[in-house]
């Protein structure tokens, strides 16, 4: 092969490369997806934590949903009202309405002081693993096992286990209601509740009263005193457990006063006394 042939081949390859490059550029322009400026602006307004608390796969997914109208402007629980107002302006809406912030709540008071143990657990310090062994070491099968699996999955350090009482405790100030602790708890003792909910039932045990008390001194014994003591008709009994209609509750907290085992928890600092 002569030098001339080599040069011809090189030039030919170069021209082919240039031609394909131009074709690709043209194809990109023809089939390009127009940038969604509104979506990009919404994404820029989001905090970027990618926690999934909104229910979408990260902030990109949340921005997509808001931009196309599938999610409300206040879909991001971390950003709160300031971020919701920014997004509302981007979407051309009025100021965003206040959304009731939610936090994780431990529906159990069966700590080491109140709930008995069936045996001493010495296995893997993980609630999921412990629950496989005879349904956990707590005498109440509905109780928090206190091994901290929920705390380890929390990306915001909003939950920890009391080292003495061996029960999960939520920091309402840090919790963003991402729901990761709720999803991983094998006992179902964690749920999301409005932070304004100042009276709650902290027991899920539906077993007979005698069996409840033999396991835990703060369990609900299904006596119905809370139901009968409520002057506003805010409490109903379902499967032996009280259910509070928060829209009717006036925070008189008579139900918590009447509860003989204190399974009905109340923030007495928020008690409203009738005139």
Band of pLDDT at residue 35, cut at 50, 70 and 90:
low
Sequential DSSP letters for 82-103 = HHHHHHHHHTT-SSPPPPPPEE
Q: Is the pLDDT of residue 32 over 60?
A: no
**Could you read off the pLDDT of 152-202 as tens digits, one per residue?**
999 899 999 999 999 999 999 999 888 899 999 999 999 999 888 999 999
User: How does pLDDT run across 103-154, given as a tens digit for each residue?
Assistant: 999 999 999 999 999 999 999 999 999 999 999 999 999 999 999 999 999 9
CATH 3.30.70.20: which residues of the chain?
Answer: 101-196, 198-275
Residue 46: helix, strand or coil by DSSP? coil
CATH number attached to the domain at 101-196: 3.30.70.20
SS3 of 59, please? helix
pLDDT at 96: 61
Provide the pLDDT for residue 29.
66
What confidence score (pLDDT) does residue 274 get? 62
Task: Give the model's pLDDT for residue 95.
Answer: 60
More confident residue, 266 or 28: 266
Name the token pair of 128: 């999921």
State the average pLDDT for the chain: 88
CATH 3.30.70.20 fits 198-275, yes or no: yes
Fold of 37-90: 3-methyladenine DNA Glycosylase II; Chain A, domain 3 (1.10.15)
Q: Is the pLDDT of residue 1 over 70?
A: no
Contacts of residue 8, Cβ cutoff 8 Å, sequence gap at least 6: none
Is the pTM for the entire model greater than 0.75? no
DSSP-H helix ranges across the chain: 3-31, 37-45, 58-67, 80-90, 127-132, 149-153, 180-184, 209-215, 225-229, 254-258
């Amino acid at each position: 092969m002569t030098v001339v042939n080599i040069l011809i081949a090189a030039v030919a390859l170069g021209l082919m490369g240039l031609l394909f490059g131009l074709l690709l550029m043209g194809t990109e322009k023809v089939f390009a997806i127009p940038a969604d400026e509104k979506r990009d602006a919404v994404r820029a307004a989001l905090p970027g934590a990618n926690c999934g608390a909104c229910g979408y796969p990260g902030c990109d997914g949340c921005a997509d949903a808001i931009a196309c109208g599938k999610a409300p402007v206040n879909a991001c629980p971390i950003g709160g009202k300031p971020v919701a107002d920014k997004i509302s302006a981007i979407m051309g809406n009025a100021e965003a309405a206040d959304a009731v912030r939610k936090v994780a709540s431990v529906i159990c008071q069966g700590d080491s002081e109140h709930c008995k143990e069936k045996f001493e657990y010495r296995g893997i310090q993980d609630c999921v693993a412990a629950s496989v062994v005879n349904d956990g070491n707590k005498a109440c099968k509905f109780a928090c096992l206190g091994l901290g699996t929920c705390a380890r999955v929390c990306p915001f350090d909003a939950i920890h286990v009391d080292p003495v009482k061996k029960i999960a405790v939520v920091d309402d100030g840090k919790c963003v209601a991402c729901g990761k602790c709720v999803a991983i708890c094998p006992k179902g003792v964690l749920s999301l509740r409005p932070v304004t909910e100042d009276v709650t039932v902290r027991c899920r045990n539906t077993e007979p009263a005698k069996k409840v008390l033999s396991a835990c001194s703060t369990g609900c014994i299904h006596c119905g005193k809370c139901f009968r003591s409520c002057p506003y008709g805010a409490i109903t009994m379902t499967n032996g457990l009280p259910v509070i209609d928060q829209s009717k509750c006036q925070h008189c907290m008579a139900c918590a006063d009447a509860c003989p085992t204190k399974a009905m928890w109340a923030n007495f600092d928020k008690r409203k006394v009738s005139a």
